[in-house]
Amino acid sequence: MEAYARSCFPLSIAASRWGPIARSSLPWKLLGTSPRPLAARALTTTTTPASIRHHHPNFTWDDVLRAAEAEHWPGELPGLQGYAHKVQKCNRGSGLLSDFLPFVIEGQVVGYIHPCIIDHLKKFPDAFSLEQNNNHGNSGDSYVTLHSSLRSPEDRTDAVGDTIKCLGESIVPGIRNELYPVTSAFGMPVFFSLERAAAPLFGIKAYGVHMNGYTEKEGKKFLWIGKRSNEKPTFPGMLDHLVAGGLVGGVQCSQMEGNHIQELHWASIEGIKLLHCLPYGITCKDNLLKECEEEAGIPRNIANVAIAAGAVSYMDIEGYRLKRDVLFCYDLKLPDDFIPNNQDGEVSSFKLIPVTQVANIIRRTEFFKPNCALVIIDFLFRHGLITPDDSGYLELLQSLRRGECT
């Protein structure tokens, strides 16, 4: 491919105007700070983040139940502090946002990129360029964009995909050959599609659906909890929701034929079959129905009664990776005799646990995939297990939407 023949010239710095980008929208303006010089911000090492290291948490369901059922637990934080700690784990490094440069497409900020990653992108001048305002020649006015010749979503997707392939696992670990849409906000046009594993390197907004599957027995609520497969590239072996997944397309659509989503388009790069997100995507509800069938074997007639229950959001900075995620929350009350059955090999087992004990697991342990804790805490608020009489109630409630809900 043409991209593989690109020579590694320095990234050109072109003079340009900000155009429709409001200067107040830049992160350092929001924070009331000025960015440190570019050289000072570069990382000296590029270690693989903990979330994508191929390790298997050393715990069993017996360990989970011990933490769930114990009357007291060593080191347990009082009140709501255990929940607050889990929220903070998804919102690290907020003061470091000024270390990143905006990633701009068609005048819209779609992400943020660390100088460490920009150094690698300099090798691909036919795909990326670094531009700055003539009137303010410091790094605080710089931003990353795609080459002006890349005008269509397809051309942009191909060019960025070639770049990701060239960078490889050493820079973009955990490549999944799945594409995420790049938009300025939910429901807005898709500028191009990006390899899912690279999303945190470009700081794009990512959207997902998470569903609390629960039952009621003798007036008590129980949650179905999954344990992720040890083969998962991210958070292997950790606890998870009954159903959860990234939102394909990130935009709403009505392009349906009966009850079936139209056939998705596929692109091929060097023989690898990649899901190419359609410009209109699919609805959140249809994405949820798909995940219900794949992850838990929930038939459509049951899954279809899942209730949309809001969203949680977070912004997490780990080294040169920036996650800006919005998770749409759903609740599904399941029949008492329902038994989940994973269909795609991503879940090793399931367990039905009283909600009060799930709350103990969240507060006491690190067994859950971090962002699942936020969705379950939100469930505890909505079902009355966390009440206004608990000290720190409003602070915890507000913290569940610490990221941009856009």
Which of 208, 286, 295, 290 has the alpha carbon at shortest distance from 243? 295
CB under 8 Å to 87, separation ≥6 — which residues?
314, 373, 374, 377, 396, 399, 400, 402
**Strands ordered across the beta sheet of 142-146:** 13-16, 128-133, 142-146, 101-105, 108-113
Backbone angles phi, psi at 26, to 5 degrees: -75, 150
84-88, 152-156, 202-206, 268-272: least confidently modelled range: 268-272
* DSSP letter assigned to residue 44: S
pLDDT of residue 140: 61
What is the tens place of the pLDDT at every residue in 243-298?
Answer: 998 875 433 333 333 333 333 333 333 333 333 333 345 789 999 999 999 999 99
What six digits make up the tokens of 80? 């709501």
**Reduced to 3 states, what is the DSSP secondary structure of residue 376?**
helix
pLDDT of residue 281: 59
Q: How far apart are CA 359 and CA 127, in angstroms?
A: 47
What six digits make up the tokens of 186? 């939910």
Which of 399, 356, 403, 405 has the alpha carbon at shortest distance from 380? 356
Q: How far apart are CA 296 and CA 350, in angstroms?
A: 9
Backbone angles phi, psi at 284, to 5 degrees: -55, -45
Structural contact between residues 316 and 93, judged by C-beta atoms closer than 8 angstroms: yes
What is the tens place of the pLDDT at every residue in 325-359?
Answer: 999 999 999 999 999 999 999 999 999 999 999 99
Q: In degrees to the nearest 10, what's the CA dihedral of 103, 104, 110, 115? A: 0
**Taking CA 120 as the corner, what is the angle to CA 279 and CA 272, rounded to the nearest 5 degrees?**
45
CB under 8 Å to 13, separation ≥6 — which residues?
129, 130, 131, 132, 142
What six digits make up the tokens of 112? 């943020």
What is the tens place of the pLDDT at every residue in 199-253?
Answer: 999 999 999 999 999 999 999 999 999 999 998 888 999 999 999 988 754 333 3
Q: Is the pLDDT of residue 378 over 50?
A: yes
Which of 19, 204, 196 has the alpha carbon at shortest distance from 102? 204
Q: How far apart are CA 142 and CA 118, in angstroms?
A: 12
What six digits make up the tokens of 399? 């913290």
Structural contact between residues 298 and 340, judged by C-beta atoms closer than 8 angstroms: yes
Name the pTM for this structure. Answer: 0.79
Q: How far apart are CA 95 and CA 32, in angstroms?
A: 11
Q: How far apart are CA 38 and CA 28, in angstroms?
A: 14
